[in-house]
Structure 1
Amino acid sequence: MKILIVGNGARESALGVKLQEDKRISKIFFAKGNATTDNIGQNYFESDIVSLRNLAIQENIDLTIVGPEAPLVDGIVDDFRKHDLKIFGATARCAKLEGSKAYSKKFMQTYNIKTAKAQVFEAYHDAIAYVKNHDYPLVIKASGLAGGKGVVVCEDVLEANATIHKFMIDRIYGDAGIQLVIEDFLEGYEVSIIAFSNGQKLFPCIPAKDYKKAGKGETGANTGGMGSAAPSPEWTAENQIDFEKNILEPTIFGLQEKNLNFRGFIFFGLMVTKNGCYLLEYNMRLGDPETQVLMALLENNLVDTIESCLNGDDVELKFSDKKAVCLVICSGGYPQNYETGFEIKGTDKVEHSTLLFAGASREAKRIVTSGGRVLSLVATGDSFDEARDKVYADALPIHFDYAYYRDDIGKF
């Protein structure tokens, strides 16, 4: 078999490492890939849909797996299917559940999916008037794709006004912020649940914990993710029942009623409060860094599981009873401005973890930084402490200029 994986993060590195277990696979292409994937397979440096489709045709690719959200929103699945190419991911219509937070919030409200109260705004002055007398804190979200960073928890009206101005007037996230979702703040802890879809049913993985904030103790700016742990340590059997009844089942009903049938991944971003589980957002893809810990614990053959979903068959997901921790090492300044091109040293000293590059590329014999989230270290153990000790021991010898990471990942 030949596989094409679209994306260049640690998520795609984790998929590549998982697929290495399958002896049927003769070659894996990564578009655009990174310094891990070029050791696993072959990096392909074009990323537009037409180029990827032509690659799939020319190389007789048997299966394409899409990592990031942008190609899904842009219709890569629709295009590949027109050319009878096998691909696992959401169609453009389905990907709108991630590509437009306004659309997804309306979907949640229509199908009585448990979520925070919210309103959508397209006019700057209407948004400013709304937050003037609102209770605080409140949450302001850019409706479009903003790389996981277009969400701000505002503590007072001054911060809300400034955030609305940055999103709608300054356009710090481009067109993503010209439409806003402003919703009530929910207090609790976040949980990520990713499910496989076979076109009719959803099959959830074990819950994972994502550390979204840049600073220790979940402080500072939102990021794409500073680390993860699985299974989520706070999650209970009661939470699972609540999630299935009030979020999962009505989502399945809504997808079917709107004919949003797809074969791919769907991500439920949850907030667990004293009043139960609430849905914060849908992502129509695997999460990063959740994928890193889920792939470390998944016991199923990934290709067989995807093939079953593509055929419309049910799947039974099996996960190890071990614990997994992922630590993300970042470029100084991330998620705001940061420099790249710094040589990464000490990775040959990694002994206890799986090293997954993300924002890193190979230049001659050197590996240099090329993004904000540079690499992930993933380890498993019989306890979270054991897994945590492994990733932090392996982080010590790794060095590049301005490197930083949180020191509380996997600590509960």
Structure 2
Amino acid sequence: MKVLVIGSGGREYSIGLALQRDPEVEKIWFAPGNGATDQLGENLAIGDYRELAAFAKEQGIDLTIVGPEAPLVDGVVDIFQEEGLTIFGPSAKAAQLEGSKIFMKNFLARYGIPTARYIETDSFEKASEFIDTLEAPIVVKADGLCAGKGVIIAPSRDEAREAARGMLSGEAFGEAGSRIVVEEFLDGYELSVFAVCDGKDYVVLPAAQDHKRLLNGDKGPNTGGMGAYAPTPLVNESIYRKLDERVIRPTLAGMEKEGMPFTGVLFIGVMVVKGEPYILEYNVRFGDPECEVLMPLLKSPASELFYKAATGRLAEAKIEFYDRYAVGVVMASKNYPYKSSEPAEIILDEIHHDELKQNSHISFAGVSRGEDGKLYATGGRVLVCVGLGDSIREARDRAYMLVGQVHFAGKQCRTDIAYQALEE
């Protein structure tokens, strides 16, 4: 099987790693890929989706997997399907679940899916009136895509009003903030749950927990994610059952009823409050860095999961996961998430310890290959050190042992990934 992966981050690198160990996969292309994906397959400098579809047709590519949200919202799936190509991901219509927070919140309300009390508006006055009815902290969200940064948790009503004003004026997020959602803050613990869907059927992956804040103890600014682990013991059978009955099934039924059946990854941002799951948000792709810890837990061939989902045949698939744990620690550049950093050469120590060699790996993200052939840290989140183990502690220890083998100027990472599970 020939596979094309669209995207350039650690998520796409991790999907590439899973495909590489699949005996069915003959060749992998990445569009555009990063400085390390060329070790797994071939990088393509084709940005136009129609040109990319023509390339896929010409090369006889059997399956395309879309990593990031922007191409999905832009309709890359529709373009490939028009050409009769098999592609994993939702249509542009279905991708509104992530592309518009207003669409998503109204969809949840229509189908009685549990979520926080909210208002959607383009009026500062209406937003301000609703803010007065809420207790702080208060959540303010830009409607459109903001690369994971369009959500502000305001510690006071005045700061919530400032956030709303900044978004609606266009100062904060441009056009993406021309309409906003203001909602009550849910106090509980957050989970990332992923369902791979084919329109009707679905497979739920082991639940993960992401660490959004820059600093230990969940302090500092929000980031794209500083680490993750899976499966999390914070989910029990009761929560899985409630998500199944109250969230995933009504979502797939509702999307089909509205003429936009959902195929791809439904990423469910869950807040558990006193044992009850509430939906914070939907995304329509794998989370990053959650994907980096989920892919190594996939026991079944990756091509089977993605291909059967893309062709509406998940009911035929027997998808299995290893009964193990994975912990991923993000290593970020010096100035992340405030501004870009100077490129820095990445030096990897040779690993002599067999146990570490066999139970850990790096998923590369913000890296480029220099003219000298060396790998350089050029992005904000540079790479993810992933450790595997029979317990969360063992996986965590291996991930941090690997962190100690990676060197570049200004490197930073959290030292407490998976702390909530280890405190249990």
User: TM-score, normalized by length of structure 2?
Assistant: 0.93
Q: Deviations over 1:61-115 (max 9, x none)?
A: 1110000000000000000011111111100000011000000000000000011
The aligned counterpart of 2:408 is 400
- Secondary structure of the residue aligned to 1:238 is helix
The reply to whether residue 257 of structure 1 matches residue 257 of structure 2 is yes
The aligned counterpart of 2:335 is 333
State the AA in 2 paired with 1:395. Answer: V
The aligned counterpart of 1:359 is 366
Q: Distance in 2 between matches of 1:241 and 1:3?
A: 34
Compared with structure 1, are the counterparts of its residues 289 and 218 closer, same or farther at alpha carbon in structure 2 (3 Å cutoff)? same
Map 1:263-342 to 2 at 5 A.
Answer: 263-274=263-274, 276-313=276-313, 314=315, 315-342=317-344
How many angstroms does 1:143 deviate by? 1.1
How many angstroms does 1:134 deviate by? 3.0
Q: Deviations over 1:7-45 (max 9, x none)?
A: 011111111111111223221110111133110001112
The aligned counterpart of 2:398 is 390
How many angstroms does 1:249 deviate by? 2.1
Q: Is the 8 A contact 1:151 1:222 kept in 2?
A: no
State the AA in 2 paired with 1:159. Answer: E
Q: Distance in 2 between matches of 1:404 and 1:165?
A: 33
Q: Distance in 2 between matches of 1:339 and 1:46?
A: 26
Q: Is the 8 A contact 1:205 1:317 kept in 2?
A: no
The aligned counterpart of 2:59 is 59
Q: Distance in 1 between matches of 2:279 and 2:304?
A: 30
The reply to whether residue 368 of structure 1 matches residue 370 of structure 2 is no
The reply to whether residue 3 of structure 1 matches residue 11 of structure 2 is no
Q: Is the 8 A contact 2:227 2:289 kept in 1?
A: yes
The aligned counterpart of 1:190 is 190
Map 1:230-249 to 2 at 5 A.
Answer: 230-249=230-249
More moved, 83-92 vs 168-177: 168-177
The aligned counterpart of 1:380 is 388
Q: Distance in 1 between matches of 2:160 and 2:263?
A: 38
Map 1:25-36 to 2 at 5 A.
Answer: 25-36=25-36
State the AA in 1 paired with 2:210. Answer: D
Q: Deviations over 1:335-382 (max 9, x none)?
A: 221224221223545845211110001112221122111101111101
Q: Deviations over 1:45-73 (max 9, x none)?
A: 22231232122123221110000000000
- Secondary structure of the residue aligned to 2:94 is helix
Map 1:3-152 to 2 at 5 A.
Answer: 3-152=3-152
State the AA in 2 paired with 1:342. Answer: A
Structure 1, gaps ≥5 residues long: none
- Secondary structure of the residue aligned to 2:263 is coil
State the AA in 2 paired with 1:211. Answer: H
State the AA in 2 paired with 1:295. Answer: M
- Secondary structure of the residue aligned to 1:264 is strand
Compared with structure 1, are the counterparts of its residues 61 and 340 closer, same or farther at alpha carbon in structure 2 (3 Å cutoff)? farther
The aligned counterpart of 1:207 is 207
Structure 2, gaps ≥5 residues long: none
Q: Distance in 1 between matches of 2:378 and 2:50?
A: 25
- Secondary structure of the residue aligned to 2:72 is helix
How many angstroms does 1:129 deviate by? 3.8
How many angstroms does 1:392 deviate by? 0.8
Q: Distance in 2 between matches of 1:47 and 1:209?
A: 32
Aligned identity (percent) is 39
How many aligned residue pairs are there?
Answer: 412
State the AA in 1 paired with 2:332. Answer: C
